[in-house]
Chain A
Amino acid sequence: MILLLQYTLIFASVLLLVALGGCFSEHSGVINIGLEGIMVMGALGGALMMKFLPESTPAFGMILLVVLAAILLGMAYSLLLAVAAINFKADQTLVGTAMNLLGTAAATVFVKAMNTAESVDNVSSTIQYINAKKAFLVNIGSFEFNWFMLLAALALVGSYVSLYKTRFGLRLMACGEHPQAADSVGINVYRMRYAGVLISGLLGGLGGIVYITAGVSEWKFENGVAGFGFLALAVMIFGQWKPTRIALAALLFGFCRALGNVYSGFDFLKNLEIPAAMYNMLPYIISLVVLAFTSKKSRAPKAEGVPYDKGQR
């Protein structure tokens, strides 16, 4: 039971972080399909930091540096989307798709090259961080508390406040609803959209490192993040682009994923003999059904996906 709670919370943290990232990007008017790729890049940054930091690093420093590395790489990678979508008015879905493919492929190539450079026989795409990972965990009884859960909660509060209570957030949302109107009152739409995409890179990268440290102590980069970026998109839509609702959606979807991992520990679930794939599939089915019923009056930002052109009427 405690294991279920633990998995639910950590998966929900991942989904919450990444979905909030997507939320910022979409509120500024840029659709970010590339969250999956951003997560992989963030995971790569964090994993490399964990690998190369000396074991004697104090836990606090370790957490700080790993988070920083993940964030920086995630933001740098999201620039690919920002430049193409904002400056060059490219098709955002196309760019996002390319970023997803590129993220996994580039990370695999990089990690494999690093591993083979260390020893010629090692052709795996795995980074190990058994010892470093301990810095993130605090055992409370049999419950493994992960500092990232706290971080996700902070991100939620931060997002809520910055979106609804600050000048920056309200301006950002204006750019996603009606950029021409925003521009007419002196808001720099391009700069706001850059901010939105970069924040999504920040939160997406962070989500990536949380994801790969969630269960195991080594990560094979060939696998990417197994659709969590897309699941986060579902969370964001299910949460109707609102941080508080996104948090609830993340908990629900995290719970489904966690059930898929630990259902065999419950006798009555085991007796039902539902394959794990069913639990993994559940979040997608739920969000599709919900979408079908709610999309008529969608709360999606009105101008998302449309490149902003100053000269357009």
Chain B
Amino acid sequence: MKKEKTSLLRNGAVQTLLGSLLCILLGLLLGYVILMMINPAGANGAILAIVENFMTYSKPASQLRYFGSTLVKTAPLLMCSLSVLFAYKVGLFNIGAAGQYVVGTGAALYCALGLKLPWFLCLIAAVLAGAALGAVSGVLKSYCNVNEVISCIMLNWISLYSVNMLLTKVKEETSPYTYTLSSTNEGALLPSLGLGGLFNKNQYVGLAIPLAIVTAVLVWVLLEKTKLGYELKATGCNKYAAKYCGMRERKNLILTMAIAGGLAGMGAAMLFLSGFEQWQCTQSAVPAMGFNGIAAAFLGGLNPIGAIFSSYFIQHITNGGAYVDKTMYSSQISDVISALIIYLCAFVLFFKIALNRWLDRRDEKRQAAAGKGGDGK
């Protein structure tokens, strides 16, 4: 009986899950401590509000509606986290998911509002734009030896400023926001597939959510079950060995970044083509979506299926932040909690090593004890 328990703890997936849960618990705990420091009176209510999110509403109808809204923002987050984890599996840190998300937004909205194209073309344009930006980092990495983290950071800001310039052409006269899709080009809205009806007529819920989940599964299949995925991972492990084995390591690097970029770009289209948000053309910071994607990817144990759950969780508490008592706290408290969770995720590797070491020691002791018992006879 006990032996089975040991083997369970030694299982990699179980360890990852444990690590992630530990991160979440510690993150929430630290968040609670911060709330206590700001104002002890409302801390309980506030942390509950964050964890409950839409469940704070008493009517099931509004609960469903706001559950839908959380899902609408989960889809792009999931795509960004897929982008990050895909690149990470190939040994690249795609901090540029944020920038690829931004150019995806630019392409999707400009095609929808400026060129008045239907939704599927806008979606494809966003994917291509993201992929192109990702490929730039890939080319710089493989041919010019530029570290992908650095080139991605530069590209993040370049894309933010260029997209601001581009979308200024399709913004409302009196506000810094782009036109709404429903007033300018209804054909660019993602089809609802009748899903909106399930969420108490939340018109923003639609194709994006199932599409994101299907993509997650496809990414898993690509990474784990195909020759291409194997080649990409091999290149990530050791590009010289991969080259020696006859793989085209440069092509693989570029392809990886292009796929990662395409995923993030598609995520942007999923949010902005739902009509849920408009782009603010005076934005002075790269949107946090791409960086939160990093959080979701690591929290999900760098597994596409895990990312589905972790993305939902991160978005759940982010939305929950809106329900804290505004007379005492601000909604950014949930950003603090998710940032803490990312920080803690960095310790997961260490946690696993420590856990394995502890298990080894325990087994050794047990063996020694068993050995001694035998000798004594």
A binding-site residues for B, Cβ under 8 Å: 31, 33, 80, 84, 88-91, 93-95, 97-102, 104-106, 108-110, 112-113, 116-117, 120, 123, 125, 222-224, 226-227, 230-231, 233-234, 237, 275, 277-278, 280-281, 284-285, 287-288, 291-293, 295-296, 298, 300
- Which B residues from 104 to 138 make CB contacts under 8 A with A? none
Residues B350 and A230 in contact, CB atoms below 8 Å apart: no
Residues B151 and A291 in contact, CB atoms below 8 Å apart: yes
CB-CB under 8 A for A116 and B339, given A88-B346, A109-B333, A281-B162: no
Contact pick for A223, options B285, B286, B340, CB 8 Å: B285
Main secondary structure on B side of the interface with A: helix
Residues B346 and A227 in contact, CB atoms below 8 Å apart: no
Residues A237 and B347 in contact, CB atoms below 8 Å apart: no
Residues B347 and A292 in contact, CB atoms below 8 Å apart: no
Q: Chain B residues near A288 (CB, 8 Å)?
A: 140, 146, 151, 154-155, 158
In the complex formed, the residue of A with least CB distance to B334 is A105
Residues B161 and A277 in contact, CB atoms below 8 Å apart: yes
Main secondary structure on A side of the interface with B: helix
B183 within 8 A of A: no
Q: Chain A residues near B156 (CB, 8 Å)?
A: 230
CB-CB under 8 A for A227 and B332, given A281-B162, A291-B146: no
Determine which residue in A104, A109, A123 has the highest number of CB atoms from chain B within 10 A of its CB, and name it: A109
Residues B151 and A90 in contact, CB atoms below 8 Å apart: no
A to B CB contacts below 8 Å, 14 in the list: A88-B347, A90-B347, A101-B291, A102-B343, A109-B34, A109-B335, A112-B332, A224-B285, A230-B153, A233-B150, A234-B153, A275-B165, A295-B140, A300-B147
CB-CB under 8 A for A234 and B154, given A101-B291, A227-B286, A295-B145: yes
Complex-state Cα separation, A291 to B140, whole angstroms: 9
- The interface-forming segment of B227-235, B243-251, B323-331 is B323-331
Q: Chain A residues near B157 (CB, 8 Å)?
A: 227, 230-231, 280-281, 284
CB-CB under 8 A for A101 and B339, given A116-B327, A226-B284: yes
Q: Chain A residues near B343 (CB, 8 Å)?
A: 80, 84, 95, 98-99, 102
Residues A223 and B284 in contact, CB atoms below 8 Å apart: yes
- Which B residues from 21 to 73 make CB contacts under 8 A with A? 34, 38-39
Q: Chain B residues near A280 (CB, 8 Å)?
A: 157, 161
Residues B162 and A100 in contact, CB atoms below 8 Å apart: no
Residues B145 and A97 in contact, CB atoms below 8 Å apart: no
In the complex formed, the residue of A with least CB distance to B290 is A97
Contact pick for B164, options A222, A277, A298, A300, CB 8 Å: A277
Closest beta carbon of chain B to A297's beta carbon, Å: 9
Contact pick for A84, options B292, B295, B347, CB 8 Å: B347
Complex-state Cα separation, A110 to B39, whole angstroms: 11
- Which B residues from 265 to 317 make CB contacts under 8 A with A? 284-286, 288, 291-292, 294-295, 298
B binding-site residues for A, Cβ under 8 Å: 34, 38-39, 93, 95, 140, 144-147, 149-151, 153-158, 161-162, 164-165, 168, 284-286, 288, 291-292, 294-295, 298, 326-330, 332-333, 335-336, 338-340, 342-343, 345-347, 349-350
Q: Chain B residues near A90 (CB, 8 Å)?
A: 346-347, 349-350
Q: 5 smallest A-B Cβ distances: which pairs?
A: A102-B339, A105-B335, A90-B346, A98-B343, A98-B342
CB-CB under 8 A for A277 and B298, given A94-B342, A120-B327: no
A98-B295, A222-B332 given; 17 more Cβ-contact pairs under 8 Å: A93-B95, A97-B95, A97-B342, A105-B336, A108-B330, A112-B332, A113-B328, A116-B328, A123-B326, A123-B330, A227-B284, A277-B161, A288-B146, A291-B146, A292-B146, A295-B145, A296-B145
Q: Chain B residues near A291 (CB, 8 Å)?
A: 140, 144, 146, 150-151, 154
Complex-state Cα separation, A27 to B266, whole angstroms: 38
Total A-B pairs, Cβ < 8 A: 161
Q: Chain B residues near A104 (CB, 8 Å)?
A: 335
Residues A109 and B161 in contact, CB atoms below 8 Å apart: no
Residues A108 and B328 in contact, CB atoms below 8 Å apart: no
Closest beta carbon of chain A to B9's beta carbon, Å: 21
Q: Chain B residues near A120 (CB, 8 Å)?
A: 327
Determine which residue in A94, A108, A125, A285 has the highest number of CB atoms from chain B within 10 A of its CB, and name it: A94
Closest beta carbon of chain A to B157's beta carbon, Å: 5
Contact pick for B345, options A94, A223, A237, CB 8 Å: A94
Contact pick for A281, options B161, B295, B326, B336, CB 8 Å: B161
Complex-state Cα separation, A60 to B140, whole angstroms: 49
Contact pick for A113, options B39, B161, B292, B339, CB 8 Å: B39
Complex-state Cα separation, A249 to B232, whole angstroms: 37
Closest beta carbon of chain B to A122's beta carbon, Å: 11
CB-CB under 8 A for A93 and B151, given A101-B342, A223-B285: no
In the complex formed, the residue of A with least CB distance to B93 is A93
Q: Chain A residues near B34 (CB, 8 Å)?
A: 106, 109
In the complex formed, the residue of A with least CB distance to B282 is A277
Complex-state Cα separation, A88 to B347, whole angstroms: 7
CB-CB under 8 A for A98 and B150, given A90-B349, A281-B158, A281-B161: no
Complex-state Cα separation, A231 to B288, whole angstroms: 18
Complex-state Cα separation, A285 to B161, whole angstroms: 11
In the complex formed, the residue of B with least CB distance to A84 is B346
Q: Chain A residues near B161 (CB, 8 Å)?
A: 277-278, 280-281
In the complex formed, the residue of B with least CB distance to A229 is B153
Closest beta carbon of chain A to B179's beta carbon, Å: 19
Closest beta carbon of chain B to A36's beta carbon, Å: 10
Closest beta carbon of chain A to B340's beta carbon, Å: 7
Q: Chain A residues near B93 (CB, 8 Å)?
A: 91, 93-94
Closest beta carbon of chain B to A171's beta carbon, Å: 25
Complex-state Cα separation, A237 to B151, whole angstroms: 11
Residues B332 and A109 in contact, CB atoms below 8 Å apart: yes
Residues B144 and A113 in contact, CB atoms below 8 Å apart: no
Q: Chain A residues near B330 (CB, 8 Å)?
A: 108-109, 112-113, 116, 123, 125
Complex-state Cα separation, A306 to B160, whole angstroms: 31
Q: Chain B residues near A281 (CB, 8 Å)?
A: 157-158, 161-162
Complex-state Cα separation, A25 to B140, whole angstroms: 25
